[in-house]
Amino acid sequence: MRYGKSKKILVTGGAGFLGSHLCERLVEQGHEVLCVDNFFTGTRRNIAHLMESKNFELLRHDVTHPLYVEADEIYNLACPASPVHYQFDPVQTTKTSVNGAINMLGLAKRLKAKVFQASTSEVYGDPEVHPQSESYWGRVNPIGFRSCYDEGKRCAETLFFDYRRQHNLEIKVVRIFNTYGPRMHPNDGRVVSNFVVQALRGQDITVYGEGLQTRAFCYVDDLIEGFIRLMATGAEITGPINIGNPGEFTIRELAETVIRLTGSRSKIVSRPLPPDDPKQRRPNIDLARQVLDWVPEVQLEEGLTKTIAYFDAFLSAEERRIDS
């Protein structure tokens, strides 16, 4: 689907898992895309197929530093999003969320450009309300191990809405729930990539606690469609809007499904729960249905089948490279 005329669009974090899929969609729609990434978690492999396009440009840059470019629209996706990566350098994670938001908002203000913030369901913390709707303010530990990400994203949302109120900036804010699909980092510590890689390697699949905590998993193509639909709305629609799949599964159910789909002989083993791990997470997507006419289309088994195929090919290529 095509939304409006061709634009010059800046995507920060554009070489990452979500960013690369977004860049791909925007290029397919005929837009000029400037992909900005510092390659902390993003990889050139994710965007290699776009490098030959005349509508795609890559710039290595860290959003904690100001950026002076021209664009009609800005998608701010830059920030490590998995606990393994965002806890590696928690101070830098907070800087990426907060200083990155300030720099992208300042750029949007100068350019009078529409600007999009990729926020997260982590702003709800370990929720007391289920499912989580956008009106829920959350239950977040401000000094815990996950706080660099949770509070960094909460502060970024604050900045976006203050720029809206103070400078009349056109903003769009999405709260992303668990998303999976091809181009996930194999070592990012997220549950889908962990389980798939462990199953394909025949290793034990590790669940935390009894694996009874729940998550809702959205396939990446559905998520990107939600992004683009929100960006195409008028200035009166700001968000935050939940984008995720409301289908809810226990972590143990996910592990059992991955084992079945891979045909693996992996066993499920338990490990202690990490601090502040949410017990349940599921989006209320009534607002996305109403405002964007958006609902996810890819169900879990279909999406997992595509994701397993990607990781199977990726791991096989890695083994060939090591053996050669």
pLDDT at 320: 65
Tens of pLDDT along 302-321?
A: 999 999 999 999 998 877 66
Given a cut of 70, the residues of the chain with pLDDT beneath it are 1-4, 82, 276, 320-324
pLDDT at 276: 65
Catalytic residues: 149
pLDDT at 310: 96
pLDDT at 291: 97
pTM: 0.92
The answer to whether the beta carbons of residues 189 and 160 sit under 8 Å apart is: no
The answer to whether the beta carbons of residues 179 and 215 sit under 8 Å apart is: no
Identify which of 231, 301, 288 has the alpha carbon closest to the alpha carbon of residue 75: 231
Domains and CATH numbers, the chain: 8-177+219-244+280-297 (3.40.50.720)
The answer to whether the beta carbons of residues 60 and 38 sit under 8 Å apart is: yes
